[in-house]
Structure 1
């Protein structure tokens, strides 16, 4: 049936939200990614952030070092979560 006629049923082609652990939700927030994004899309954001925050690219700014560590932690959480495997 049409989703507008039956609002309790999600459309088959709509992205499905899965209940993720808090650490993964925090990781997505650090990376600026949405829960419905694919692993490839999240990885693209991760790589762009790492490139931007890398000491060789930002002139050795020590303030960005903590942010880089958070981004690296976030990617590790995403990598280990079964929802984003593949």
Structure 2
């Protein structure tokens, strides 16, 4: 049974009884091509000893039979990369929207595969009553609970009669601020 020897790359011990070179009595342990591979198969091989396979490899010329232009093309650092590439199919779908239309990559993916096309409007996390309460406190949709608490505290101090020398003219505004706080402190957006 033939086995590979770790000493020489390509050596197959016990592959052939003799080298294919006439008159050589050394064992044929290295496979060398007789003919170049073709479309129909790998070509013909011969078994050579170490000395004769070295001679065979020294005589081998990859560029034999090529013109100067063919040699330069084969040695080019971009050889094989010049052919055109087929564009990816869209599968019948509309092309994806440009990434520059989005600030968040996940929104871009949603815009491509979601229900709508293009940049989508972010859904507000507040209901209509909660949005109105935020407006009373002078805050926007991006407010968090500490910002709501701070705005509530500032407005209560501003409109409370004890802070205004007993003046009750701002009592309606104070009631609106307190109602806004009552609405927002239990909002599901802050849960």
**Which structure shows the bigger proportion of residues in helix conformation?**
1
Unaligned 5+ runs, structure 2: 1-97, 106-121
The runs of 5 or more residues in structure 1 that have no matched partner are none
Change (3 A) 1:10 1:77: farther
Q: Distance in 2 between matches of 1:11 and 1:63?
A: 47
Of 82, 89, 99, the residue aligned with 1:5 is 99
TM-score with structure 1 setting the length: 0.77
**Aligned equivalents of 1:17, 1:58: Cα separation in 2:** 40
Establish whether residue 37 from structure 1 lines up as the match of residue 107 from structure 2. no
Superposition RMSD on alpha carbons, in Å?
2.0
Q: Is the 8 A contact 1:31 1:71 kept in 2?
A: yes
Task: Return the structure number with greater relative CO, CA threshold 8 A, min gap 6.
Answer: 1
Specify the alignment match of 1:58 in structure 2: 164
Task: Count the aligned residue pairs.
Answer: 78
